């Protein structure tokens, strides 16, 4: 088919589908939306998810090159590989941070101050990577020691969705702390889409954290989790209610998620809501719905919860 025939065929199909009219309507809606939100006729670029996928993969491989790096990586080439991978990932991340800062500023062009701030954030983040690696090592060991089905720490690292989710969370958490919450959220949501585990990057989670199986776990923005905590699938650490201001808008940023102290185990399907405290060493049974604090060493099960309700006379 000649180029003329191709163009003619395209024009016929475009006319049949009324593409030009649809393009005009979409343009009008897009312009109206931009005017309502920012007043820009051409909004600043946002960070790109597909680029952040590569950044997260590169950073993970740099921290664990023997297992997440290339299969043919020789011992004498590890440092070179790590340096090259870090350089590439961090330079790419720097550009994405510039996009977020530009978008947040509301300015037509990226300012020199935000350009410098992007460099400072990237440098500060890079310096935190060894500490992140140490935390992840404790998470991997906790998973290996806590799961009788795990045959090696290497199996845990390359196979367990909970470890992948925690890895991306720990990277995202550092970025969240440094002032780029959009990129942090995007990295967390990349892990969410791949593992079924949703951890808000604003949550604070101590070392030796283990999520077994993983699917359906939700950890909210203001949750605080201590050391040596274990969660099973479909656990929710969520908010009980969402306060509004005098104008009816949601009040954001207030503490509204649980505090889970050290050495707690929460079994599958448990839902824990509100700014309550789960005391150190407690065990929360499967499918429990909990909206009150419990002291250290508590054992909470469905049977206990029903017993308490029936005793009060309101459970039937």
Residue spans per domain, the chain: 1-35, 44-197, 216-316
Is pLDDT above 80 for 27?
yes
The reported pTM is 0.87
Helices and strands (H and E) in the chain: how many: 10, 14
In DSSP terms, 71 is beta-bridged to none
Is pLDDT above 50 for 46?
yes
The pLDDT value recorded for residue 122 is 98
d(CA 258, CA 242): 14
The pLDDT value recorded for residue 45 is 86
Burial class (CB in 10 A: 0-12, 13-18, 19+), 316: exposed
**DSSP string of 192-245?**
HHHHS-EE-TT-EE-SS-EESS-TT-EE-TT-EE-SS-EE-TT-EEE-S---B-
Cα separation values, 143 from 150, 216, 304, Å: 8, 18, 29
The pLDDT value recorded for residue 307 is 53
Handedness of CA 135, 54, 176, 294 (dihedral sign): negative
State which fold the 44-197 domain adopts.
1.10.3130
In DSSP terms, 266 is beta-bridged to 231, 284
SS3 68: helix
Pairing of strands 265-266, 210-211: unpaired
Instruction: Mark residue 300 as left, alpha or beta (left: phi above 0; alpha: psi -120 to 50; beta: remaining).
Output: beta
The pLDDT value recorded for residue 316 is 39
SS3 271: strand
d(CA 137, CA 67): 13
Is pLDDT above 70 for 6?
no
Is pLDDT above 80 for 1?
no
- Give the pLDDT band of residue 31 (cuts 50, 70, 90): confident
| CA proximity to 130, closest of 89, 170, 96 | 170
- Kindly state the average pLDDT of the residues 37-55: 81
Instruction: Mark residue 142 as left, alpha or beta (left: phi above 0; alpha: psi -120 to 50; beta: remaining).
Output: alpha
Rg from Cα positions in the chain: 24
- Kindly state the average pLDDT of the residues 85-99: 98
Cα separation values, 178 from 97, 146, 306, Å: 11, 32, 45
d(CA 31, CA 190): 29
Cα separation values, 283 from 94, 245, 279, 292, Å: 43, 36, 9, 14
In DSSP terms, 230 is beta-bridged to 210, 265
d(CA 201, CA 182): 10
> Does residue 192 contact residue 165 with C-beta atoms inside 8 Å?
yes
Residue 299, H or E segment: strand 299-300
Is pLDDT above 50 for 310?
no
Q: Which CATH class is domain 216-316?
A: mainly beta
Is pLDDT above 80 for 91?
yes
């Amino acid at each position: 088919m000649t180029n003329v025939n191709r163009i003619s065929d395209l024009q016929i199909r475009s006319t049949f589908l009324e593409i030009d009219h649809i393009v005009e309507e979409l343009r009008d809606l897009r312009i109206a939306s931009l005017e309502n939100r920012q007043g820009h006729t051409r909004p600043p670029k946002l960070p790109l998810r597909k680029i952040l996928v590569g950044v997260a993969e590169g950073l993970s491989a740099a921290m664990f090159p023997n297992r997440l790096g290339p299969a043919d990586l020789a011992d004498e080439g590890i440092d070179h590989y790590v340096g090259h991978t870090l350089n590439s990932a961090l330079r790419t991340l720097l550009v994405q941070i510039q996009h977020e800062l530009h978008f947040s500023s509301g300015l037509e062009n990226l300012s020199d101050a935000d350009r410098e701030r992007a460099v400072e954030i990237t440098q500060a983040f890079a310096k935190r990577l060894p500490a992140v690696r140490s935390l992840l090592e404790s998470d991997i060991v906790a998973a290996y020691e806590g799961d009788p089905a795990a045959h090696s720490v290497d199996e845990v690292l390359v196979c367990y969705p909970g470890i992948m989710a925690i890895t991306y969370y720990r990277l995202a958490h550092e970025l969240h702390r440094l002032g780029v919450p959009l990129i942090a959220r995007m990295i967390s949501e990349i892990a969410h889409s791949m593992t079924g585990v949703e951890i808000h990057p604003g949550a604070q989670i101590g070392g030796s954290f283990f999520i077994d199986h993983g699917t359906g776990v939700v950890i909210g923005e203001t949750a605080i989790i201590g050391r040596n905590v274990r969660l099973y699938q479909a656990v929710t650490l969520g908010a009980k209610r969402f306060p509004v201001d005098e104008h009816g808008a949601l009040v954001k940023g207030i503490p509204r998620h649980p505090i889970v102290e050290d050495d707690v185990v929460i079994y599958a399907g448990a839902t824990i809501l509100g700014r309550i405290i789960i005391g150190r060493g407690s065990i929360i049974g499967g499918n429990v719905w909990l909206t009150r604090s419990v002291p250290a060493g508590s054992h909470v099960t469905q049977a206990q919860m029903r017993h308490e309700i029936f005793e009060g006379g309101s459970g039937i």
